[in-house]
Amino acid sequence: MTRFADDDFVIGVDGGGSKTEAVLLTRDGRVLGRGKSGAANHHQTGWEGVLVEVQWAVQRACEQARRQPEEATALTLALAGIGSQTEENTLARLARKNWPRLRLQIAHDAHAALIGGLGQRHGIALIAGTGMIAYGVGVDGQRARAGGRGYCLDTGGGYFLGVEAVRAVLHAYDGLGLPTQLTPLVLRTLNLSRPDELVAWLYAPERSVKMIAALAPLVLEVAATGDGVAAEIVARGSDALATAVQAVAGRLRWEDDIPIVLSGSLLTKNAFYRALAVQAMRVRLPHARFFLPAENAALGAARLAWEEMGVHLPRQQPEEIGQTAAPWASEEPNVLSRGLHRRKVRDIVALMHVEDKRAVNAVGAVLPQIAAAVEAIAERMAQGGRLIYVGAGTSGRLGVLDASECPPTFGVSPEQVVGVIAGGEAALRQAVEGAEDVAADGAQAMRDLGVAPLDTVVGIAASGQTPYVRGALAEARRRGALTVAVVCNLPSPVAEEAQHVIAPRVGPEIIAGSTRLKAGTAQKLVLNMLSTATMVRLGKVYDNLMVDVQPDNEKLRARARRILQQASGASAEEAAAALEASGWEVKVALVSLLAGVPIAAARQALQEAAGHIAAALAALETEEVRQP
């Protein structure tokens, strides 16, 4: 093994979209010198520009230490924008021209941030500076990344926040968006008089990425005061950061005790944005642990250089942050709604709108799980099974609401889609305290309904904890029924009882614990999808028309006539006559008109096709071919 003197040193370089830093580090962990220069991302500056900035940073660090670069033992360049072997080779070729004697290592800046931040080789580094990247190394050495694709493509970094601020000010000026406190602050900061002057400012030849990213602190400042427009920008940014980390953790198959170090100026220097990002990550990764860097990425690069030489420096202990006493995410105070009672009504409703959008996005993240549940539900209902919703409080009311709307919309009997709420009908209008706390009552409700193997029981619980719902699912599963959990927190006892888990993790409510808000919104969206998509699969919809509508009043009879005209091209008189002849069965009348067959033949074809219009028409066409 090579022996090194106490004053031997290596050079570590970290370069990103705003700055480059070089550090000289001895074997025993002493920093001899530091040097800084401008951006060193080749997507912004070109390769020659990268080399110039790296040289400047190294030279300044060496001058401070009164040493020469050639005296170093090794050099590690950890730069942003290095995402392929070709890019590594290009950088290595340029570096060797300047430092041919040094042992050279090329690394990604996120890898150096991970090593410096955590002082260990495995974990996840989230960097948010000018751009952003989530980068992880698993305990088995596998690596994964998300983001880091350049300032134009990344969401959540300073450039993103800056551009969105300019866009928000211009949209407000043009009447395309809400008024925002960003307008006077941005104009004053840039010494502009009118919002439309921002266009010339943004596209000026001298405008740099760094100048645009410098607007990010303004967005965070205004968002923290309650401005709805700024709040939406930072919510999108922090959610994007959290989603990137979640993607990396998923690819590394990392679920428990995930160490995540937060790096980059937006996360290390701005407590508000850091708190938003940590909260968004905890919603998605409840077992994660969060740390501020023990050392920066330049020191991480230097550590990598020593490791390349076989020397492992003592680990520095990072500071853990972001611990919470809340039992699950929906109970946590929302960082964005701090000081809610002091805000203007306009800002309150704007923030509620921001949080509602987050609920929609949370549902979007679980669409594959919703689709899988629909396929399983439809398969059982096609054989005569029922769809049964079970919940308590808001969740129970939403289930009853969705169940009650299926008969008039899709022509199913009230016994086919059933809503069960803890506390019974009285709980539909007012809270029945304690009704949700007894698991045995939920189980008894399933026995009373005679739940059977062809049935599907959907347990709805925002917290994912409700004993009544858990008891109902456990009993339904014991009876062989399909079980589905719709929850907004994981891990969840309710989810443990279900074969299909749909978990739109919406995070903390604008009022802590008030899950009638965006958790309820997300649940309503999921139930809409479950019932509607299932009914489409069962043939209750033709094209995009509700052809099984029950025309029980004049409004619905008028709708039935319109549906028949739209689907068949018939006149109003022809549609009305067909409906009268069919006994106001829209599907029968439609098949009769489209296939040109008597009502009786249309009804028979539909029965044989299990109510599917397309299948009935295909069968009638085939029969016509056989019997010309």
Backbone angles phi, psi at 562, to 5 degrees: -65, -45
In this structure, what CATH number is given to the domain that contains residue 591?
1.10.8.1080
496 belongs to the catalytic site: no
Q: What is the Cα–Cα distance from 81 to 88, expressed in whole angstroms? A: 10
Note whether 89 and 137 are same-domain residues: no
Note whether 373 and 486 are same-domain residues: yes
Considering the chain, what is the average pLDDT of its residues? 92
Kindly state whether residue 311 falls inside one of the protein's structural domains.
no
Amino acid (1-letter code) at residue 577 = A
Query: Which of these ranges, 418-427, 519-528, 546-555, has the smallest mean pLDDT?
Result: 546-555
Which residues are paired to 174 by β-bridges?
none
Kindly state whether residue 526 falls inside one of the protein's structural domains.
yes
- Strands (DSSP E) found in 472-560: 482-487, 500-502
Q: What is the mean pLDDT of residues 254-274?
A: 93
Note whether 594 and 452 are same-domain residues: no
Note whether 390 and 518 are same-domain residues: yes
Kindly state whether residue 316 falls inside one of the protein's structural domains.
no
Cis (ω within 30 of 0) for the bond into 491?
Answer: yes
**For residue 152, what pLDDT is reported?**
87
Query: How many independent structural domains does the chain possess?
Result: 4
Kindly state whether residue 2 falls inside one of the protein's structural domains.
no
**212: enclosing H helix or E strand:** helix 209-213
Kindly state whether residue 275 falls inside one of the protein's structural domains.
yes
Q: How many residues does the chain have?
A: 628
**For residue 281, what pLDDT is reported?**
95
* Residue 628 pLDDT exceeds 50: no
In this structure, what CATH number is given to the domain that contains residue 512?
3.40.50.10490
Task: Give the predicted TM-score (pTM) of the model.
Answer: 0.88
Q: Which residues contact 171 (CB under 8 A, 6 or more apart)?
A: 177
Note whether 384 and 506 are same-domain residues: yes
Domain boundary among the residues 61, 91, 117 is at 117
Condensed to tens digits (0 to 9), the pLDDT of residues 137-168 reads 999 999 999 998 888 899 999 999 999 999 99
Note whether 88 and 125 are same-domain residues: no
Kindly state whether residue 329 falls inside one of the protein's structural domains.
no
Note whether 98 and 129 are same-domain residues: no
Condensed to tens digits (0 to 9), the pLDDT of residues 198-224 reads 999 999 999 999 999 999 999 999 999
Kindly state whether residue 483 falls inside one of the protein's structural domains.
yes
Note whether 107 and 236 are same-domain residues: no
Sort strands 103-108 and 123-128 into parallel, antiparallel or unpaired. Answer: unpaired
608 belongs to the catalytic site: no
Note whether 491 and 380 are same-domain residues: yes
3-state secondary structure of 12: strand
Note whether 64 and 195 are same-domain residues: no
Instruction: Take residue 298 and report the two structure tokens written for it.
Output: 């330049």
- Strands (DSSP E) found in 42-198: 74-79, 103-108, 123-128, 132-137, 143-147
Domain boundary among the residues 537, 566, 595 is at 537
Domain boundary among the residues 55, 89, 117 is at 117
**For residue 2, what pLDDT is reported?**
66
In this structure, what CATH number is given to the domain that contains residue 101?
3.30.420.40
Of the candidates 87, 308, 331, 405, the residue annotated as catalytic is 405
Tokens 């300019």 belong to which residue? 166
* Residue 1 pLDDT exceeds 60: no
Backbone angles phi, psi at 12, to 5 degrees: -115, 135
Note whether 99 and 132 are same-domain residues: no
* Domain interval for residue 616: 554-626
pLDDT band at residue 418 using 50, 70 and 90 as cut-offs: very high
Note whether 609 and 509 are same-domain residues: no
Kindly state whether residue 300 falls inside one of the protein's structural domains.
no
Condensed to tens digits (0 to 9), the pLDDT of residues 538-563 reads 999 999 988 888 888 888 889 889 99
* Residue 322 pLDDT exceeds 60: yes
Is the Cβ–Cβ distance between 440 and 470 less than 8 Å? no
| 5 or 95, greater pLDDT | 95
Of the candidates 53, 436, 475, 497, the residue annotated as catalytic is 436
